[in-house]
Each structure stands twice: as structure tokens, then as C-alpha cells.
Homo-oligomer: A and B are copies of this chain.
Amino acid sequence: MLKDFVKALPPEADQLSSEVKKEQEKLFASQMKIKEAKLPVMVIFEGWGAAGKGSVISRVIKNIDPRFFRVRTMVPQPTEEEKRYPFLRRYLLEIPEAGKFTFFDGYWMNEVTGKRLDGKLSEQEYRTRIRSINTTERSLTDNGYLVMKFFLHISRKEQEKRLRALKEDKNTRWRVSEDDLRENRRYDEAMEVYSQYLSATNPSSSPWYIIDAKDRKWAELQVLRFLNQGIETALKNHSLAVPILQNTFPLNPTPLLRDIPLDDKVLEEKDYEEQLDRLRKQLHDLHNELYRKKVPVIIAYEGWDAAGKGGNIKRIASALDPRGYEVHPIASPEPHEKARHFLWRFWTRLPKDGHIAIFDRTWYGRVMVERLEGFCSENDWQRAYNEMNEFERELADWGAVIIKFWVQIDNKTQLERFTDRQNTPEKQWKITEEDWRNREKWDLYEQAVDEMLQKTNTVYAPWYVLESNDKRYARIKALRIVVDAIQKACKEKH
């Protein structure tokens, strides 16, 4: 894309200034519209070293009210801490909330092309990264994000000139990095790598705009024009519905909830205690091993009210070293979470490698409560199966063990437990009006849960139904599944 890029010609100086002013005013005027429409805007700047990303960003934000934007500089090298998380995480943590801009001085391109140029990414790894970036960007734009991507382009000569000037001045010398100099020496090679990357990540929903960055004011005008045009288009698409992609992930066959026998799944007290002891000891030892082998583990719980999630989680957690795990109770999203992509609050809660995260309720709320209570649009929850499968594939590719539990009881058992809670003073806090209201929608929920299990029971992040009419049975089953899965993962990691 870069080689055959043909620059448009800038207007003459006077006109350039007056057009910049006009576009600046347009951008200024759209701040409030963006806020009202709750449009989140990501403006990503990539480009050659010394192409002037910083300078263009400062020009562009000049007139925007500071309450409406943030600037984030993303360096290509993750910290040691960041390396313990999936590649995408540190970028995704920075996405803007609805109604605001984030301007990125560098984003995920840099890390990929940098490694690519250094021969540190195999063809296979490179392709996986490209796929991750494309599915994630698509998930962002599908969920209403405007993603504007600019590549600031200068020639080898121009770059050389700028680097030399920076180096000669002792106040700016620090700005010239070894990477910049090497990029200039290997300009043609870098151009090939950049072109490949740009072409491979150029869908029409978040296309690249190549900016002739030789003249700063002209670069500013080009960026402002594309940016204003992109904002205008996005504001027109207020309640856009997006095509639902086919769910092409490898799925396990999954029975319907009503076909799963519950009453024969029982465990005597004595058997229970024995097995509990043994399994917790095993899990405790495995926790050390997975810490050493840096295997991240994600255990997700969903299930009926009063099915026994809390007690089940407690039995697992109590076997673990508290420094190595965290339980995340998931309620309705906070305002700052609601204002972002629905998976954002789970990206922020991922475990480090070697750690365990237990989620008490999960991202699957999207296709259960949010679906049934109308907290998101139909298009939103229909797309979500695929989006969640994609999300979990990222985690699996990172090396995570993912275990998803559905804690299952029958309607009668729920009624008994609700009644018991109601009638036992020390349990009354556990039962609310809302629980009773949800109970009335049992059939709708069952249908939604069945659809969820059918569509997201992937081989790399499988669902396990825990028959929990007998809570003891469910606890032992959960422990055994966790132990087996971690054992397997530790064994595979030499």
C-alpha cells in the first residue's frame, strides 16, 4: 500500500490555513454531538519514526475540550508485567468510553511490525496476530466504536534529514532511538513489512488512511478531513445493526438442560468428605505447578439462582494459595464499564499467567439477563455468541485453561431453596424480590441458557454442567474437572 501511494497535492499556504481552520471548527462542533450520541472514538496514529505523530496529535486536539479526550502513548515493548497477559490486553484496557476520544500515539501495529522486522515472529505467529487484531477491531466497530487509523508516511530521505536534525540538537537528541536509526537504514525492508500489515488489516469498517507527512500543517489538514468525515458517517449510523457472522468455532455436542438427569447425581456425606480432602490437596499441589509453569486459569460460573454457585466456588478457592487467585463477583456493570465494549470489564479482570481467576457470573450475562431484560439490542446479543467465542479463543491461544460451569438445578429444587431462605432469618439476605421475579421467567431463561450452551461450548473453552440438586455432588464434580484440566495443561507445558 505504501509503495504505490500517491500523494494528493496540498492547497497553497493561504488556503491551507483557512481549510485547517474550517476543519478544526468542524471537529470542535462535533464534540457535543459525539457526547450526545455516546460515540466512542479511537484515533490511532502509526507511521515512520520522526514522521511527526506527536506533533500532529497536538495540532488535532488543540481545540477539543480536555474533558472529551485522552492521549495515550503505546510503546512497542510490553513491560515484564504486561508480558504475563495476552498480547491484546494492554491495548484494550485503553479503549475510550462512549462519547469520548482516545488519541493513540502508536497502537498494536508497532509491536507486530517491530517483531516481524526483527524476525521474532514466525509466519504462523504473525498470521495469528493479524487475525486477533482483525477480529478485535471488528468486534469494536460492530459494538459501535469508531476506529480511525492513520499512517504517517515520509520518504527515507526525509526521515534521514529529520533524524539528523534531531540528533544535532542536544535538546532533542534523546528523541532519536536506535530503532529509528535502524528503521531508516532498513527503510525498504520496513516499507514492505508495513505495507503487508496495512493491507492485512484494512477492512472497510476500520480502514487505513495514509497521510503524506512531509509538511506538518498539510498532514494536519489531511487527518482532520478524514477524521471529520469518519465522525460524520459514524454519527449517521446511530442504531446500526451489523450482519451476524456464522459461528465457525469447533463446538462440542451439548444436550438440552431438560434432558440432563439430576436426581441420581448424589453423594453420601462420607464419600464427599473423603473426596473433597483428596481433591483439594491435589488442587493445592497443582496450583504450585501451574504457577511455576506460568499457566493462567479462568474458571467461569453461571447457574440458576440458589443453585449453589457460592458454596461451590468456596470449595475450590479454599484449596488455593490466596496470593495466586482472585474471585470476581460480577454484578451489573458500573457506569464506566457500561460505557465501553461489553467485554472490557473482563479484559481488566484477567489473571496473570500462573494465576487463577474465578468469575462468579461472567460475560455470558450478555446472552441471558441482558438479552431477556432488553439491556442490549437483539443484534447485540445475537452477535455476542461469536464475540465471546473469539474472546475465549484469544485467551486459549495465550495458553489459558478455560473452564465454564453451568450450575444446574430443577425448578422444584429452586423453589425449596427459595422458601428455605425466606423462612430462615440468617439466610434472608440471600433472597430478594428480584429472585422471585426472575424465577417467573424460568422457561425463557432455560431457552436462552440452552442456546448459549449450544453456541459457545467450544472445544477450547468447554461448558460443564454441574448437577447441583445435591450440592455435594456438584462440588466434587467441579473440583475433579478443575484438577483434571490443570493437570492436563501442566503436563502439556513440559
Please determine whether B1 and A248 come into contact, CB atoms closer than 8 angstroms.
yes
Chain B contacts for A253, CB-based, 8 A: 9
User: In the bound complex, do residue B250 and residue A4 qualify as a contact, i.e. CB atoms below 8 Å apart?
Assistant: yes
Which DSSP category, helix, strand, loop or mixed, fits chain A's interface?
loop
The copy count of this chain in the complex is 2
Q: Complex: how many Å from CA A243 to CA B4?
A: 22
Cβ 8 A contact of A236, one of B4, B9, B230, B379: B379
Flag if A230 contacts B243 (CB, 8 Å): yes
Contact between chains at A240 and B243 (CB < 8 Å): no
Does A204 lie within 8 Å of B251, measured CB to CB?
no
Q: Which of A69-77, A87-95, A206-214 contacts B (4 or more CB under 8 A)?
A: A206-214
Contacts of A248 in B (CB 8 A): 1, 4-6, 210
The 8 A CB mask of A450-479 against B (1 = contact, 0 = none) is 000010000000000000000000000000
Indicate if A13 sits at the interface (CB-CB under 8 A).
Answer: no
Q: Does A84 contact B (CB under 8 A)?
A: no
CA distance A454 to B243 in the complex (A): 35
Q: Are A204 and B207 in contact, with the CB atoms below 8 A? A: no
List CB contacts (< 8 Å) of A1-31 with chain B. Answer: 1, 4-6, 8-9
In the assembled complex, the Cα of A6 lies from the Cα of B210 at a distance in Å of: 39
A472 vs chain B, min Cβ distance (A) = 32
Are the CB atoms of A240 and B240 closer together than 8 Å?
yes
Interface size on A, residues (CB 8 A): 40
**A203 adjacent to chain B (CB < 8 Å):** yes
Inter-chain contact A207/B246, CB cutoff 8 Å? yes
A248 vs B210: C-alpha distance when bound (angstroms)? 8
Task: Tell me the complex Cα distance, A122–B243, Å.
Answer: 33
- With A204-B138, A253-B9, A382-B229 known as contacts, the answer to whether A236 contacts B241 (CB < 8 A) is yes
B205 near A8 with CB under 8 A, answer: no
Interface status of A242 (Cβ within 8 A of chain B): yes
Partner of A379, one of B204, B206, B233, B239: B233
Q: How far, in whole Å, are A244 and B227 apart by their CA atoms in the complex?
A: 10
Given contacts A5-B248, A248-B210, A250-B6, contact A233 B243 (CB under 8 A): yes
Further pairs besides A204-B242, A234-B243: 19, Cβ < 8 Å: A6-B250, A6-B251, A8-B251, A203-B203, A203-B204, A204-B205, A204-B243, A204-B245, A207-B245, A207-B246, A209-B246, A229-B244, A230-B244, A232-B241, A233-B244, A234-B241, A236-B239, A236-B241, A236-B379
